[in-house]
Amino acid sequence: MSDLFQDYAAAAGRTEAYDEMFTREQEARSSYGQVSGALRELSLADVTARADSMARTFLDRGVTFDFAGEERPFPLDIVPRVIPAEEWTVLERGVAQRVRALEAFLNDVYDKMTVVADGVIPRQLVTTSAHFHRAVHGFEPAGGVRVHISGIDVIRDAAGTFRVLEDNVRVPSGVSYVLENRRAMAKGLPEAFGQQLIRPVEEYPRRLLSALRKTAPSGVDDPTVVVLTPGVFNSAYFEHTLLAGLMGVELVEGRDLICRGNRVYMRTTAGEQRVDVIYKRIDDEFLDPLQFRADSMLGCPGLVNAARAGGVTIANAVGNGVADDKLVYSYVPELIRYYLNEEPVIANVDTFRLEEKEAREHVLDRLDELVVKPVDGSGGKGLVIGPDASRDELEALRKRIIADPRGWIAQPVLQLSTVPTLSGDKFGPRHVDLRPFAVNDGDDVWVLPGGLTRVALKEGSLIVNSSQGGGSKDTWVLADSPQVPVEALPRQSIAVRERVSVWPVESNWRDRQSEQQQQ
């Protein structure tokens, strides 16, 4: 290994975490063979030049996220995260299983609530969730799917086991970075791609579009799909444009839509055009001023009624937030057993429910050792890591928990696994998580091979959110057999054709050549 990895062993020794690339004995795992071979050939100058070039490409292409009102390139690290085929098979199965369970749970919660009647989950828990929307109670959405797109966050603990950290079934974002990262890596570290089979990610937009079209209201032959964005100021606006572009559909804002007679139309130069499927990228609260926040300018009045009447499919369905409530999360293993009659493939992280008196007292005694999260937060907002918090912060947290125990959960501090990451002039271990994306078309749950690996760029930090100084890595799923589509399939060689078409050149090209050589 070159000097880039000189201090890696020492740095890795400072943490208990599982390292994705190296074993405890500092040998590269077999899945990383190709990557480590490629990196060994590079000098520091090469690596930094490539990293700079990748950052430039991102800025040029507008692969940015909004940070405090400023567009920043999403930092992409040059070392990919590699997942061997056998590990991926398990993850894939686990993610699909979870999506099926959550789908069943949502159908139930907005219908008869048998899950409550059978005593699996307390009624109060469902009804007190901030995202349980009575406005969408009692109807089956057109197309029959509620969780079209989901992102299930998983992490690997110190023992090397994958665990689910949280579910995102409202508006999971980040898939655009998966697509862009692969493109950038193919140009930034071309050597590592050569000899191994890496499963491609580029079919995602087509899978998504076909799932959305498949779940259109019945009786529509050629459904019109749109992506609904809150607008250019949204932090994920780049992703909205990319997905709309790659699917070849319109990117609409609320003001482009009108609802009439429980149908949705968009205003076009050719008059109003019926919209059948809306890929919704705005929060439920802002979607329909008639049902939710009356002051919202982002949505379109009447959407919820249109969905209720079956005139439009909204993906993901309104009211999904109740399923990714973090307190419901702690019940998901039971939900899987209840609805699917299966054992969970991927375990949860141990979670304390603070409503339960014993657990609460236990947690309040050990606040400085635990991670405490608000149940409806996303993007790492409001999260408190006990060991890093000051005394005052913990005191404030204690008061808030006592005032609203339903609003919080607590988990042990997990040592997320690490991957070498370029920092300054050498590689150091940095903690990562993984968000695989799943697309559900009603018959089948397809999991995008790979997903978004986010990395905390500060040494020792466990917060990977981009809004708090996180970056990302390209995620490679290795294929174990050439059966699955891979980045480059082995091909039949065709003979170089005999007839070679010759470039036409101006009549005096040859003369000029000799002339130039004489000069």
Partner 1 sequence: MLSRIAESLFWIGRYVERADGTARILDVHLERLNHLPMAEQRSVAQELLAVMGARPQSEEFGLNELLNALAYDKHSATSIAGSLGAARENARRARETVSSGLWESLNTTYYGLNQHRKDVVGTYRFCNWVLERTAMVSGLADTTVSHDESWLFLVLGRSLERADMTARMLSTRDVLSAGMSWVNMLRCAGAYESFLRTRRAAFGDQHAAEFLLLDRLFPRSIVYALRDADDCLAKLDPSAQRVGFINDARRIVGQARTFLEFHRTDDLMSELPEHMERVQKAVSQASDAISRKYFNQADELAWVGEVS
Minimum CB separation of residue 484 from partner 1 in Å reads: 12
Cβ contact 202:182 at 8 Å: yes
How is residue 312 annotated by DSSP?
-
Minimum CB separation of residue 214 from partner 1 in Å reads: 11
Nearer to partner 1, 341 or 493 (CB): 493
CA-based R_g, the chain, Å: 25
Minimum CB separation of residue 488 from partner 1 in Å reads: 4
Complete DSSP assignment for 1-21 = --GGGTTHHHHHHT--PPBSS
Cα maximum dimension of the chain: 94
Nearer to partner 1, 223 or 310 (CB): 223
Query: Which residues pair with residue 478 across a beta bridge?
Result: 198
For residue 359, the one-letter residue type is A
How is residue 92 annotated by DSSP?
H
Nearer to partner 1, 228 or 410 (CB): 228
Residue ranges binding partner 1 (CB under 8 A) = 49-50, 53, 186-188, 190-191, 193-195, 198, 200, 202, 206, 209-210, 213, 245-249, 485, 487-494, 496-497, 500-509, 511-513
Q: By C-alpha distance, which of 375, 445, 382, 418 is closest to 146?
A: 445
Minimum CB separation of residue 38 from partner 1 in Å reads: 11
Mapped onto helix, strand or coil, the DSSP state of residue 137 is: coil
Nearer to partner 1, 205 or 302 (CB): 205
Nearer to partner 1, 126 or 244 (CB): 244
Cβ contact 435:454 at 8 Å: yes
Minimum CB separation of residue 437 from partner 1 in Å reads: 19
How is residue 22 annotated by DSSP?
B
Complete DSSP assignment for 366-383 = TGGGEEEEETT--TTTT-
Nearer to partner 1, 214 or 293 (CB): 214
Minimum CB separation of residue 245 from partner 1 in Å reads: 5
Q: By C-alpha distance, which of 204, 283, 281 is closest to 451?
A: 204
- CA gap 97, 95 in Å, rounded: 5
Minimum CB separation of residue 120 from partner 1 in Å reads: 40
Nearer to partner 1, 374 or 485 (CB): 485
